[in-house]
Amino acid sequence: ARVGNLERAVDLLVYLERYAAEHFATEERWMEDAAYPDLAPHRTLHAGFRDTFEARRERTARDDQAHVA
């Protein structure tokens, strides 16, 4: 059951990563179109989220592989 749960977690993390990327891109376009003055630091926040999320997803995938092996 644990392996199945980890596989589901990995699938969910992949979905969330794609969703966040799409959301951030749309939000940043809107901010750019509106000449939002704090766009650069906001993009930095998005990049930090993406980096953290990717690291956690990769760790979860490694854990999944370790339980399968």
pTM (2 d.p.):
0.75
Q: Does residue 69 contact residue 6 with C-beta atoms inside 8 Å? A: no
Closest among 14, 20, 22 to 57, alpha carbons compared: 14
Residue 57 is predicted with a pLDDT of 78
Q: What is the pLDDT of residues 5-61, one digit of tens each?
A: 878 877 888 899 899 999 999 999 999 999 999 999 999 999 999 999 989 878 877
Residue 13 is predicted with a pLDDT of 82
Residue 4 is predicted with a pLDDT of 74
